[in-house]
Amino acid sequence: MKIDYQTLEKKIKINFKNKDLLIKSLTHKSFNSEQNYEKIEFLGDRVLGLVMAKKLLEIYPDEKEGILDKKFATLVNKKTCLQIAKKLDLQKYILTLSSINKKVLIEDKVLSDSCEALIGAVYLDKGFQTTEKMILDLWSSHIKDSVITQIDAKTKLQELSLKKFKRLPIYKLISNTGPRHKPLFKVSVKLVDTKFFTSEGNSKKEAEQNAAILCLKNLKKI
């Protein structure tokens, strides 16, 4: 199956000098155990973080560090990278052992990791300024959303639970997976009269926050 990488290049407005870098950034280890995206993803994750940290400081020069940290986490987490990956239809370009079978769905983690690897590949091929411009273009709507201060869902859920049941929400760590440089936490939360709501994050704190948001949305409080 021939993959049309030119269409992807048009979407991100990048013309790679080294096409092998582009292909490598979209190659899963199941397809090639040596030439795959894992190390480039490691780089892309750092480049994305640098671009977002720089942009947030430009937008919010007087904001408190704690608020900036929350905004930053929202912009660089797996969920946002997955949304960007789907926006770019990255599943059409990723090479996996089973990629010849169009019916096989590529896991969300592979999609979000490939998004970061693509960033790393652009950085290696074009340098920081071009990569920064691409990231800011792709993340523009998410950056705009960050203007609204993120609701501290854990605090809101705690207040709601104490008021209604005089008991704190129950949080449960389900799993802690992923590589050391990029862990993935899965956390569940419930109130006295609800089921468990489960979400993920790159830190336990972020996963708890996301689980609380999910619980509140279900309760129609957000």
User: At 118, which CATH number?
Assistant: 1.10.1520.10
Query: Cα(116)–Cα(190) distance, rounded to whole angstroms?
Result: 33
The answer to whether residues 125 and 164 belong to one domain is no
The answer to whether residues 98 and 167 belong to one domain is no
Q: How confident is the model at residue 149 (pLDDT cuts 50, 70, 90)?
A: very low
Q: How many domains does the chain have?
A: 2
The answer to whether residues 26 and 135 belong to one domain is yes
The answer to whether residues 103 and 161 belong to one domain is no
Strand order in the sheet with 197-201: 170-177, 184-190, 197-201
Q: Which one of 94, 111, 145 terminates a domain?
A: 145
What's the average model confidence in pLDDT over 83-102? Answer: 83
Q: What is the CATH number of the domain that holds 205?
A: 3.30.160.20
3-state secondary structure of 71: helix
Q: How confident is the model at residue 146 (pLDDT cuts 50, 70, 90)?
A: confident
Q: Radius of gyration of the chain from Cα atoms? A: 19
Residue with tokens 């569940």: 188
The answer to whether residues 124 and 159 belong to one domain is no
Query: Cα(208)–Cα(199) distance, rounded to whole angstroms?
Result: 7
Q: Which one of 113, 145, 177 terminates a domain?
A: 145
Catalytic residues: 45, 116
The answer to whether residues 15 and 86 belong to one domain is yes
Partner residues linked to 95 by β-bridges: 27
Which residue from 73, 82, 79 is spatially nearest to 52, judged by alpha carbons?
Answer: 73
What's the average model confidence in pLDDT over 5-25? Answer: 96
Q: How confident is the model at residue 147 (pLDDT cuts 50, 70, 90)?
A: low
The answer to whether residues 129 and 162 belong to one domain is no
**Enclosing domain of residue 41:** 5-145
DSSP classification of residue 92: G
The answer to whether residues 120 and 160 belong to one domain is no
Which residue from 68, 11, 75 is spatially nearest to 45, judged by alpha carbons?
Answer: 75
The answer to whether residues 33 and 101 belong to one domain is yes
Q: Which one of 145, 176, 191 terminates a domain?
A: 145
The answer to whether residues 182 and 80 belong to one domain is no
Whether the CB-CB separation of 98 and 104 falls below 8 Å is answered with yes
The answer to whether residues 134 and 94 belong to one domain is yes
Residue with tokens 């691409």: 134
What's the average model confidence in pLDDT over 164-191? Answer: 93
Whether the CB-CB separation of 122 and 12 falls below 8 Å is answered with yes
The answer to whether residues 128 and 188 belong to one domain is no
Query: Cα(123)–Cα(50) distance, rounded to whole angstroms?
Result: 12
What pLDDT is stored for residue 103 in this prediction? 43
Q: pLDDT at residue 120 above 60?
A: yes
Query: Cα(112)–Cα(85) distance, rounded to whole angstroms?
Result: 6
Query: Cα(72)–Cα(49) distance, rounded to whole angstroms?
Result: 8
